[in-house]
Amino acid sequence: MGKEENAAGRPVFTAQEKEEIRQAIRRKYAGVASSAAGFFRYPVGKEGALSLGYKPGLLDQASDDLLSSFCGVGNPFAIGRIERGDLVLDIGCGAGFDVWVASRLIGENGRAFGVDLTAEMVAKAQANLASVQAANAEIRLVASEQLPFADAFFDVVISNGVINLSPDKPRLFSEINRVLKTGGRLQFADIIVEKELPAPLAASVESWSQ
Ligand SMILES: C[S@@+](CC[C@H](N)C(=O)[O-])C[C@H]1O[C@@H](n2cnc3c(N)ncnc32)[C@H](O)[C@@H]1O
């Protein structure tokens, strides 16, 4: 896979390879939409959120369904303050936990959007937000490399454990830059690979989302 390399020495994938990666991600996260338990090598669900610094009082107010599929790797809200009235986008929102947190911070004059690649996650996030009547939140089924939003629309883009999964990171960052207002902020938590992976692992589509 990915014989061509970009300026940073990273592989450039063909359209077919990108689609294979997206399909592998969808296969995994369709399962995570039922429960994150057993899919990850780090704490997930409510225990994971607690370990990442989300406040216990906040977590006690979240439903089991909001937390059971949570598989974030950090706390994007710890990086900068979300203000009332802000327009916020969560890239790869999963079951909607961070969109729910944002919807409480922005109040009724703000709007929080979540986008995700996996239909099962989107359905769960939509049900989760409907069950708490979060009228200022909306979830869309879409790949983050092609965002269905106008230029300079958002005050803040957040993301939790997703950007590492994109097979086209330059395009994803370009889209984030496009939809952010001048002076807007990207607040994301993610995983990075510090060593070169062994060749069989690097060539495996399934390893992309391990
Ligand atoms: C590790 S989970 C994190 C979910 C959520 N942010 C959380 O903290 O629970 C990764 C999520 O990103 C989604 N995803 C992966 N690649 C994506 C892409 N290119 N565009 C949109 N969503 C993507 C997956 O479907 C999955 O729901």
Per-residue pLDDT at 86 = 98
pLDDT for 66-97, tens place per residue?
999 999 999 999 999 999 999 999 999 999 99
What's the whole-model pTM score? 0.95
Per-residue pLDDT at 199 = 80
Ligand 1: centre distance to CA 4 (Å): 26
Q: Classify residue 5 by its DSSP letter.
A: B
Q: 17, exposed or middle or buried, with CB in 10 Å at 0-12, 13-18, 19+? A: middle
pLDDT for 2-12, tens place per residue?
467 777 777 78
Alpha-carbon distances, residue 128 vs 5, 86, 123, 168 (angstroms): 41, 21, 9, 29
The mean predicted confidence, pLDDT, of the chain is 94
Out of 165, 172, 188, mutate this one to test ligand 1's pocket (max ligand atoms within 8 Å of CB): namely: 165
Cβ 161 under 6 angstroms from ligand 1: yes
Cβ 24 under 6 angstroms from ligand 1: no
In words, the CATH class of domain 15-193 is alpha beta
The residue-averaged pLDDT of 137-155 equals: 98
C-alpha to C-alpha distance for 176 and 132, rounded to whole angstroms: 28
Residue 125 confidence class, pLDDT cut points 50, 70, 90: very high
